[in-house]
């Protein structure tokens, strides 16, 4: 997609902001109403065989003027405007529908969705999630909720109760960005997670930092002791994959395997030849930056 867009459409001065301006709250609300926020997916893969059993659902905004926008453009704004719940419900609907269609085609793929601890303070959201999940015709063990945190997040008794209710319907819980910020050992002891996702910051340093390698090694040992898998995020090079395999890692996620792609493209991607990792990386945001730029990260959702 071209990064060269007009700053103003002819005759639209009274109706549209300049493309050069950042989207505002009314723009985001309009995008939600018009279903402009699309579910993209990124595979989690077996480091040895490169087979894919699960994908993480991510948000992209197909803006009518600005083109395809990354979460860095809108997640902070949506958080301030309390619109993340609406976005999550849209992504859940798109993702579950895609999962059902893939199952019909013979591909049994798990789908993972990001849910913040802050969102879990909403009883209405959790009730809506449970209601929608119970309508899903596939086993809910194929659905994972990746629990993300922010600086204001806390785990109150009511939040723990809501997590227990979600787990009781059959979904899996994953601790996202393990090793960073508030994603701590204490949190791990509070919540019955089924999976750990090690933050990609460690992967980016693993080739030159013995300390980063030590963290990965001990995280793997901890996950093994708990009897749950550890997914290593941020894998972008064959060197990183080789080192991780030497350390004992089995599963990963990152641009080496695949860049985020529209959920509607996943079926074709799964059935296409993938002789080498990363063969489908080149996709462009309207910023002109590749989605798979090494070391680049975006807010989750």
DSSP for 13-61?
TTT---TTSPP-HHHHHHHHHTT-EEEEEEEEEETTT--EEEEEEEEEE
**How many alpha carbons fall within 13 Å on the CB side of residue 231?**
28
Q: Is residue 184 part of a domain?
A: yes
Q: How many whole angstroms separate alpha carbon 232 and alpha carbon 24?
A: 34
The model's pTM is 0.85
Point out the residues that are catalytic: 233
3-state SS, residue 242: helix
pLDDT in tens, 198-241: 999 999 999 999 999 999 999 999 999 999 999 999 999 999 99
pLDDT, residue 275, reads 52
Instruction: Give the total number of structural domains in the chain.
Output: 1
Q: Is residue 301 part of a domain?
A: no
pLDDT in tens, 112-142: 999 999 999 999 999 999 999 999 999 999 9
Q: Is residue 86 part of a domain?
A: yes
For residue 68, pLDDT beyond 80: yes
Q: Is residue 297 part of a domain?
A: no
Q: Around Cβ 288, how many Cβ atoms within 10 Å? A: 10
Chain length of the chain: 301
Domain housing 231: 25-268
Q: Is residue 300 part of a domain?
A: no
Closest by CA position to 166, among listed 119, 129, 132:
129
Q: Is residue 284 part of a domain?
A: no
Q: Is residue 288 part of a domain?
A: no
Q: Is residue 285 part of a domain?
A: no
Element at 276 (helix H, strand E):
none
Instruction: Kindly report the CATH number assigned to the domain that includes residue 218.
Output: 3.20.20.450
263 CB-near residues (< 8 Å, 6+ apart): 38, 39, 40, 41, 57, 94, 95, 98
């Amino acid at each position: 997609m071209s990064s060269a867009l007009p700053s103003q459409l002819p005759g639209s001065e009274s109706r549209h902001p300049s493309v050069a301006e950042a989207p505002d709250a009314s723009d985001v609300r309009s995008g939600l109403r018009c279903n402009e926020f699309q579910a993209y997916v990124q595979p989690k893969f077996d480091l040895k065989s490169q087979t894919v059993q699960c994908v993480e659902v991510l948000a992209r905004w197909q803006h009518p003027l600005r083109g395809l926008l990354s979460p860095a453009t809108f997640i902070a704004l949506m958080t301030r405007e309390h619109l993340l719940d609406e976005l999550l419900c849209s992504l859940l609907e798109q993702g579950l529908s895609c999962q059902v269609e893939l199952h019909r085609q013979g591909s049994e793929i798990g789908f993972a969705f990001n849910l913040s601890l802050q969102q879990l303070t909403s009883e209405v959201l959790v009730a809506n999630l449970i209601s929608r999940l119970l309508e899903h015709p596939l086993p809910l063990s194929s659905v994972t909720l990746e629990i993300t945190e922010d600086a204001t997040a806390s785990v109150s008794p009511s939040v723990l109760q809501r997590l227990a209710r979600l787990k009781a319907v059959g979904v899996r819980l994953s601790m996202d960005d393990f090793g960073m910020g508030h994603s701590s050992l204490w949190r791990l002891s509070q919540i019955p997670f089924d999976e750990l996702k090690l933050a990609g910051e460690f992967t980016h340093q693993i080739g030159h930092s013995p300390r980063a390698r030590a963290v990965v090694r001990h995280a793997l040992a901890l996950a093994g002791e708990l009897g749950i898998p550890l997914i290593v995020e941020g894998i972008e090079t064959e060197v990183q994959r080789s080192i991780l395999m030497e350390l004992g890692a089995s599963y990963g996620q990152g641009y080496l395997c695949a860049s985020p792609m529209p959920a509607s493209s996943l079926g074709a991607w799964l059935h296409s030849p993938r002789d080498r990792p990363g063969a489908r990386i080149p996709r462009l945001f309207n910023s002109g930056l590749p989605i798979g730029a090494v070391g680049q990260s975006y807010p989750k959702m």
